[in-house]
Amino acid sequence: MCVSKINMQHASYVTKVPKPEVPKNPLEKVYSASQQKDNGIIYDKKPFKITLEAGKTYHWCLCGRSKRQPLCDGTHKDIFLKVTQRPIRFTVEKTKDYWLCNCKQTKLRPFCDGTHKNKDIQEANVKI
């Protein structure tokens, strides 16, 4: 049987957890789609975790209508939907897991910035 003693004089507590660093899109200034004023419809109220490969180009769905969320499937091209948003072209510098925005309201497109936690998004009707 192993018993460990804890010296309470040396215990420390963390009251605030540091926010995880949100990556930047290296292509943001190259392609104007990142500068679109309007956001798409809210697809989901939580982000999507996905493994992305360094150097590979991806297209994140901004309109919120893609059937392959969070990535674009070209649904925005349907003339009957009258979608004005275009997909965001992006790449990452490291191969690893990333959180992509699924509420489509992030200011750090395509990456989640926590906007989905806002009351108006949590109370929105989502058609999934």
The CB density around residue 87, as the number of other CB atoms within 10 Å, is 23
Least Cα distance to 34 among 92, 95, 108, 93 occurs for 108
Phi, psi of 100 (to 5 degrees): -100, 145
| Chain centroid to CA 92 | 13
pLDDT higher than threshold 70 for residue 10: no
Over residues 100-126, the mean pLDDT reads: 94
For the chain, give every domain's residue range.
23-128
pTM over 0.75: yes
- pLDDT tens per residue, range 42-99: 999 999 999 999 999 999 999 999 999 999 999 999 999 999 999 999 999 999 999 9
Residues 6+ apart with CB under 8 A from 64: 40, 41, 42, 43, 104
Angle at 110 between CA 107 and CA 116, to 5 degrees: 60
The CB density around residue 52, as the number of other CB atoms within 10 Å, is 19
